Amino acid sequence: MEICVIGAGYVGLIAAVAFAKFSNKVICVEKNGDKVNKLNNGVPTIYEEGLEELLNECLEDEKLLFTTDINKAVRESDIIFIAVGTPTCEDWNVDTSQLFNVINQISSSIHNYKIIVTKSTVPVGTQKNIKKQLINNGVSPSKFDVVSNPEFLREGKALNDFLQGDKIVIGSDSLRAKSIMEKLYTPFNIKILFTNPSTAELIKYASNAFLATKISFINEIANFCTKTGADIDIVAYGLGLDKRISKEFFKAGLGYGGSCFPKDTKALVKIGEKYDSNFDIIRSVINVNDKQRLMPVKILLEHYNDLENKVISILGLTFKPGTDDIREAPALYIIKELISQGAIIKCYDLMASNEIKDIYPTIDYCNNVYDCVEDSYCAIVCTELDEFINIDLKKMRDKMQVGMIIDGRNIYNINDIEENGFDFYYSIGKQNKN
Ligand code: UDX
């Protein structure tokens, strides 16, 4: 099939490469010309396992092309996937302006039947609004259908999730579009759920809200473990043995970050307001997460009272391992708060994108984890990178001013901590030393 993907961000780029892998002819539109050049030369613009190889394979087979020419790409395609950003505004409303700009741009290029598909996460009711907008722009209803096909991929595992995900959700109110979408996705051999567009749009938000709920729930239980001497890993294991609960997504820590959970939970609350639905649980999930990511600052202030001029080391800046993405990473919030307390920040994460240097230009970015902990009053583990899990604890302790770790990802065990001479160890819901 002839496919156009608009937007070469995370979702768009992965979708474009994946569709090309299954012998479709894909044109991916991106307004940033530098990105287009890089991608046409086989250089991925994001880090993602397996992406570089597959991108180059598809380019060599001439199944994939990147362009800035949106109208030509649309004219030459049967299915148009829209994968542009739908960020959350300060007031938690979803900003769909990029999506509707695309609709306005492509309207004049729809001369024969096309399926317009939203891959971006969009508020319930967006499919109907896109249809209205296309008709307002003079496109005949016989020339298009609009389908919702949300994406559930995780950063770091994005290609794998696209090619071998648990489900494909297709929301369509047209049998013609449904059967073409079915043909496109059949080679993926993944269960397809066909439903109406509003249901598909809501499945995406409800999935992310539920997963975020599991994380805030386990973090709340973990904080209670800290007070009572229970062990969160064993509590989570015990819970997960019940198939109705499942063991997945039960790792306690500094809370969720990234490009989806923080934005989609807030967006769902805001969308709910329009329908007089308060979403009490999701509001609490957001609250718990906001507090959880600042847990290390709370511990430090209780421990030291005053952080003025104390060196604090931040181990890990990305929101999770396996990605360079720092969006909504707990480390960002912790650093902000520590700076306001007068602490001197040293941090270490060679994977983290350079964007962080624009946000915090004055803090110390170390090239080595042992330099990062030198003279430190506390090391805070914000991301569970292998390098921190396998660190030489003795060497680390010797470099530090005070042997104190706040293990925001529960990667160490108390015996190793004690054996290597640390005086203070704080975890999330496991045995502490203080
Ligand atoms: C998530 C969803 O998993 C994916 O389906 C959706 O399409 C986009 O959002 P992603 O943001 O890439 O994917 O990361 P994920 O691996 O799900 O982790 C999200 C956050 O939750 C991370 O900050 C992670 O550290 C945290 N997390 C996850 C926990 O704290 N505990 C867990 O048990 C799992």
pLDDT band at 316 (very low <50, low <70, confident <90, very high): very high
Query: Which residue puts its alpha carbon closest to atom 34 of ligand 1?
Result: 249
Residue 424: its pLDDT value, please? Answer: 97
- Smallest CA-to-CA distance from 411 within 380, 433, 434, 369 is with 380
pLDDT digits (tens, 9 = 90+) for 110-143: 999 999 999 999 999 999 999 999 999 999 999 9
pLDDT for res 312:
98
Token representation of residue 195: 């439903």
Please identify, in words, the CATH class of the domain defined by 293-427.
alpha beta
Residues with catalytic annotation? Answer: 260
pLDDT over threshold 90, residue 336: yes
- Would you state the pLDDT for residue 354? 87
What's the rounded mean pLDDT across residues 187-215? 97
Pocket lined around ligand 1, Cβ cut-off 6 Å: 151-155, 208, 211, 215, 249-251, 253, 256-261, 319-320
Q: Which of 256, 332, 352, 14 has the alpha carbon at shortest distance from 159?
A: 14
**Atom number, ligand 1, closest to the C-alpha of residue 330:** 23
Distance CA 206, CA 126 (A): 16
Residue 364: φ, ψ to 5°: -90, 115
pLDDT band at 71 (very low <50, low <70, confident <90, very high): very high
Rounded CA gap, 243 and 49, in Å?
A: 30
Q: What is the mean pLDDT of residues 302-312?
A: 97
pLDDT score for 298: 97
Q: Compute how many other C-beta atoms are within 10 angstroms of the C-beta atom of residue 153.
A: 20
> Does residue 339 carry a pLDDT above 90?
yes
| Predicted TM-score of the model (pTM) | 0.95
Residue 353 clears pLDDT 90, i.e. is over it: no
Reported in sequence order, the residue ranges of 178-247 that DSSP labels E, i.e. its strands, are: 192-195
pLDDT digits (tens, 9 = 90+) for 385-404: 999 999 999 999 999 999 99
Quote the pLDDT of residue 137.
Answer: 98
Probe residue for ligand 1, chosen from 122, 215, 239 as the CB with the greatest number of ligand atoms within 8 Å: 215
Residue nearest atom 20 in ligand 1 by C-alpha distance: 256
pLDDT (0 to 100) of residue 423: 97
Residue whose C-alpha is closest to residue 345's, from 381, 380, 313:
313
- Confidence grade of residue 39 (pLDDT, cut at 50, 70, 90): very high
For 271, phi then psi, to 5°, come to: -65, -40
C-alpha of residue 113 to centroid of ligand 1, in Å: 38
Mean pLDDT of 257-262: 96
User: Does the pLDDT at position 47 exceed 90?
Assistant: no
**Domain 2-195 matches domain 293-427 at the CATH topology level:** yes
Distance from the alpha carbon of residue 409 to the mean position of ligand 1, in angstroms: 14
Q: Which residues contact 132 (CB under 8 A, 6 or more apart)?
A: none
CA of 301 to the centre of ligand 1 (A): 29
**How do the domains of the chain map onto residue ranges?**
2-195, 204-290, 293-427
| Architecture of the 2-195 domain | 3-Layer(aba) Sandwich (3.40)
For residue 421, what pLDDT is reported?
97
154 CA to centre of ligand 1 in angstroms = 7
Percent of the chain topping pLDDT 90: 97
Query: How does DSSP assign 30-48, residue by residue?
Result: -S-HHHHHHHHTT--SS--
In whole angstroms, give the CA distance from residue 266 to residue 273. Answer: 11
Six token digits for residue 5: 């993907």
Residues 66 and 27: their CA atoms lie apart, in Å, by 6
Q: Which fold has domain 204-290?
A: N-(1-d-carboxylethyl)-l-norvaline Dehydrogenase; domain 2 (1.10.1040)
Asked whether 106 and 71 are in contact (CB, 8 A), the reply is yes
What sign results for the dihedral spanned by CA atoms 419, 420, 421, 423?
negative
**Please, are residues 99 and 128 in contact by the beta-carbon 8 Å criterion?**
no
